[in-house]
Amino acid sequence: MNADLADRFRFAQDLAEEAGALALDYFRRRKDLTVEIKGGLQDVVSIADRDVETLIRRRIAAAFPEDGILGEEQGLLDGRSGYTWVVDPIDGTSAFVHGHKNWCVSIALTDDSEPVIGVIRVPCDDETYAAQRGGGATLNGTPLTLDGALTLQNGLTGIGASQSVVPEKVGALISGLMAVGGNYIRTGSGAQMLAFVAAGRLAGFHEPSMHAWDCLAGYCLVAEAGGLCLPFPAKGEGLLNSGPVLAAGPGAFEALRDLAETSICLTD
């Protein structure tokens, strides 16, 4: 195992725990937060998101000053090491501000070709999902391994949706899923639902449009647990653009991809 990566993997898990604790402190005092509108009434942000990202950026800059950092709230800082951290300080902000427990801190590291580390911390459940390329995935230290047992029919499928997607697409996806005998769930955090795929709690997850900070940690987890993911750019301009996100266990991937294609969710 690459020593550089092993160091960063330990660091990422500690950082996710520290950032999660700070976010949880804000969550417990959320009635005092001023919620600001970002992209619309369904797309909000608060000081909690900004402070957690600031903490993460400060820790990364101190430990690995040559690494790049892309965070949802503060953008891209180019690095020189070939590694870029891709961070969502709070994924599931709407859930967070409305008092739901389904939010997480999502931290990925890319080597400028693919995610090589993925850590998702869900503070309200005291759960840490962690994966390193070639090293497998774990949930609170217990290895995660997907087999083909879960299908769209016998499992639940996570479907994400935001105001950036034409509502008819989401409707078509849900009706297509139900027509083949499946059913859907949406927790409010896409990153958490990707972690659920890695843990075998969901057969698969699809959202027509998300960003790198929403999905790269989850993608690393799913791939290391033995699942499959639709490619998402992990370098250059692509890192900043939105695109479809789809991941599933081996028993559901093809069927979910077909469904997404027939629901025209991948075509624009």
> DSSP state, 162?
-
Site string for ligand IPD, 182-221 (x = CB under 6 A): ------xxxx---------------x--x---x-------
Q: Does 97 bind ligand IPD (CB under 6 A)?
A: no
> Among 100, 267, 91, 263, which residue's Cα sits nearest to residue 182?
263
- From the CB of 207, what's the least distance to ligand IPD, in Å? 6
Nearer to Ca ion, 174 or 217 (CB): 217
Mark residues 163-202: x for contact with Ca ion by CB under 5 A, - for none.
----------------------------------------
User: Which residue in 93, 132, 138, 151 binds ligand IPD (CB under 6 A)?
Assistant: 93
Q: Kindly give the residue spans of alpha helices, DSSP state H, lying in 64-146.
A: 93-97
3-state secondary structure of 86: strand
* Residue 210's binding partner out of Ca ion, ligand IPD, none, with CB under 5 to 8 Å set by partner kind: ligand IPD
* Residue 111 binds ligand IPD, judged by CB under 6 A: no
Nearer CB in complex with Ca ion: 72/114: 72
What single-letter DSSP state applies at residue 82? Answer: S
- The Cα-based distances of 29 to 26, 107, 166 in angstroms read 5, 24, 35
Packing angle, helices 167-179 and 253-262, rounded to 10: 130
Whole-angstrom CA distances from 120 to 13, 36, 123, 156 are 9, 25, 10, 20
Cβ proximity to ligand IPD: between 46 and 138 the closer is 46
Which residues sit at the interface with ligand IPD, rule CB under 6 A? 72, 88, 91-94, 160-162, 188-191, 207, 210, 214
